[in-house]
Structure 1
């Protein structure tokens, strides 16, 4: 079965902790028999998983290569230097920090490097696809900083440049955040840079979702425009769950100090090594082809969903993700997620540009990793619509999903 731990690891777990072994095997079975349509998820390569399960997990390594607080870091230093060099080369950045444990940790470090508590920050409002770290009152960002939210046009679903500039002029923020968890089009980085320069603000690009497309040349690179780029290393990038920061040489020391010692302790060296593996894979022609196929699949899926009656935000997508309102099919986003999960198709619900409307967010990164192409996307849209309309019951849908994943198994 794909995704199953090695026989040796499974035997050890079964003997020592059969309860946890059952969890691992159960999740492997779930992934191998259902469709992972969350825009935030993907399958890593076996090489990335090998690094994650390596002896590097045993090493404590506070600090940076050549300046650790623990002895015996000579070998893990090599792993981190490889990861840093590959990230800089892949994205054309002067400096990279690969230690953040998550995308949120990377954003926290960016704020710590550039801001002081109470500073005003302009970011996409949460009702329009902003992340929790973009000013949620339940998050550190909303508690420590004064966030002002810009939105998107209710009709087009796109950022309004004039409104963005007007808000920046009015509030004079210390930083502007460009990024979203549910924006299916490319952000205009040059526009954001121009607005930031006009009001004397830093530009932070939260590229958690599109960074893998950037690596594969299927999305614009924010590095030349941003003061700091925050990103995750999973999603389309296909690396381990984690974060990273990219910046110019002028901010390198501030960024590094914001990660360690200000916001984090020791780096997870097995994850750092896995990031290095992922960066190496992302630099190959095969990954370039993959990234473009992800976008091609998403565009076909978006068009097919629209053809099935979904109200697709912005009329389509430039990226790996799609947001849509399933209301024309008789369900809202919450109900759609639950009904589709029962049918073996896992995706997310999300806010849509219209006040109070909850839709669905789905992505094509994982299914593209499995080898699916445009023809499978059209069939997938028909199956999703059939389930939500009640024309295909959950049992039949699960059988169809199992057959599809059997033909295109995870790596």
Structure 2
């Protein structure tokens, strides 16, 4: 009997990891949860007050435009163009129900069943899940020791059914920030082969670099090749309101609109209004949030020597993430469960971010520090440094 697309797709990793907690005992010390890269705190008080007023507006409770509200599209286009030092019009912006929906709509507008998409490893697992459910073949693009994709390696993987290349920068799960030269090289590669370049920039507000990380929207006809994806969830803590965006050509957005109309009809109205309010009023607050994340990233580096003495190594560190190689003979999917019960740490194993036949995943762990501050990071590293009784890799 044939199986459905969902039946042949792996279970959501974050939900799977949460089930590990059901039989754990936290009576001796509290859980340190570094499994999910999403803020658990609500939006700032001033935004919530503004949202309360928005609830009294009639159109908050009605259908809106499929591609999003004009005011939000206009404001995001203006700020996006300014940040990336280029030109973006409101007609090149669509608002979506979160960034995952933006990715799904993009793939649906690009690919037919059996087409191929290059996806760097370690990958963001929801990207892989959607490609599987869409019947699109994922072509793993190894990112090497520095967790940065190489254009020559990518070029060798392009075949007659390749339709797109995906980049995530700052990267989830690795934390790596791709240089402007790397991003431009992939743009040129995609353009030369008639492919789409998808860049998921969910974490762009927490990039450690000042100024534009790349200037692709300053290139002529950039929207013929480039599709940029974004999320308001991380910047303004709007995770429950599901507001994302995509930047592409108006013709491409017209294709994506078919998907968006079928799946959600329109983005959440309250979330869109809140996102617009945030863009217009919270720049200073967001700058403070960015600095806090940069401080946490610095704390990762400051605490690494203790782990390095135990055989760990830091592979990537940026945005919300630290990506580590552990020294143990136990594969990471088993280690992650062991840590819940023996160190009261919930982290995701590298096996969730790589193909099942890639041995690197068994040696890697992702630490998402969106919800632990510098003192929490110190406590996490103290627990990891104190681990005993685990056999080391030969």
In the superposition, the TM-score normalised over structure 1's length comes to 0.66
> What's the CA shift string for 1:111-136, capped at 9, x where partnerless?
233334443322225xx2243323x4
Counterpart for residue 276 of structure 1 = 276
Q: Secondary structure at the match of 1:89?
A: helix
Is there any run of 5+ residues in structure 2 with no aligned partner, and where? 1-29, 82-87, 390-394
Aligned-partner Cα distance in 2 for 1:156–1:110:
28
The 1:277–1:349 alpha-carbon spacing in structure 2 relative to 1, beyond 3 Å, is farther
- Contact 1:175–1:204 (CA under 8 A) maintained in structure 2: yes
Alignment of 1:136-147 (within 5 A): 136=129, 139=130, 141-147=132-138
Measured after TM superposition, the shift of residue 345 of structure 1 is 5.0
Aligned residues: 329
> What's the CA shift string for 1:106-159, capped at 9, x where partnerless?
11111233334443322225xx2243323x4xx454543233221222x44332
Counterpart for residue 366 of structure 1 = 371
Q: Secondary structure at the match of 2:107?
A: helix
Does structure 1 residue 160 correspond to structure 2 residue 150?
yes
The 1:329–1:173 alpha-carbon spacing in structure 2 relative to 1, beyond 3 Å, is closer
Measured after TM superposition, the shift of residue 357 of structure 1 is 0.6
Alignment of 1:100-115 (within 5 A): 100-115=96-111
Aligned-partner Cα distance in 2 for 1:201–1:245:
21
Does structure 1 residue 234 correspond to structure 2 residue 233?
yes
Aligned-partner Cα distance in 2 for 1:212–1:337:
32
> What's the CA shift string for 1:300-332, capped at 9, x where partnerless?
314523532363343x42433111133349784
Measured after TM superposition, the shift of residue 355 of structure 1 is 3.6
- Contact 2:94–2:253 (CA under 8 A) maintained in structure 1: no
The 1:38–1:236 alpha-carbon spacing in structure 2 relative to 1, beyond 3 Å, is farther
Aligned-partner Cα distance in 1 for 2:212–2:340:
29
Measured after TM superposition, the shift of residue 201 of structure 1 is 0.7
The 1:281–1:216 alpha-carbon spacing in structure 2 relative to 1, beyond 3 Å, is farther
Aligned-partner Cα distance in 2 for 1:234–1:384:
30
- Contact 1:152–1:158 (CA under 8 A) maintained in structure 2: yes
- Contact 1:106–1:243 (CA under 8 A) maintained in structure 2: no
Aligned-partner Cα distance in 2 for 1:356–1:249:
37
The 1:356–1:114 alpha-carbon spacing in structure 2 relative to 1, beyond 3 Å, is closer
Counterpart for residue 12 of structure 2 = none
Measured after TM superposition, the shift of residue 199 of structure 1 is 1.1
Does structure 1 residue 45 correspond to structure 2 residue 43?
yes
The 1:147–1:101 alpha-carbon spacing in structure 2 relative to 1, beyond 3 Å, is same
- Contact 1:334–1:358 (CA under 8 A) maintained in structure 2: no
> What's the CA shift string for 1:11-69, capped at 9, x where partnerless?
xxxxxxxxxxxxxxxxxxxxxx865534511133234555389457971305359xxxx
> What's the CA shift string for 1:282-307, capped at 9, x where partnerless?
5x134224314413421431452353
Measured after TM superposition, the shift of residue 198 of structure 1 is 2.0
Aligned-partner Cα distance in 1 for 2:80–2:208:
7
The 1:164–1:313 alpha-carbon spacing in structure 2 relative to 1, beyond 3 Å, is farther
Q: Secondary structure at the match of 1:274?
A: helix
Alignment of 1:170-249 (within 5 A): 170-171=159-160, 173-179=162-168, 181-187=172-178, 188-208=182-202, 210-213=203-206, 217=210, 220-221=213-214, 224=217, 227-236=226-235, 238-241=237-240, 242-249=242-249
Aligned-partner Cα distance in 2 for 1:117–1:331:
34
- Contact 1:40–1:363 (CA under 8 A) maintained in structure 2: yes
Counterpart for residue 150 of structure 1 = 141
The Cα RMSD (Å) is 3.8
Aligned-partner Cα distance in 1 for 2:199–2:326:
30
> Hey, which of these two has a bigger chunk of helix by percent?
1
- Contact 1:214–1:221 (CA under 8 A) maintained in structure 2: no
- Contact 1:39–1:321 (CA under 8 A) maintained in structure 2: no
Alignment of 1:233-312 (within 5 A): 233-236=232-235, 238-241=237-240, 242-251=242-251, 253-254=253-254, 257-280=257-280, 284-308=283-307, 309=310, 311-312=312-313
Aligned-partner Cα distance in 2 for 1:213–1:219:
12
Counterpart for residue 94 of structure 2 = 97
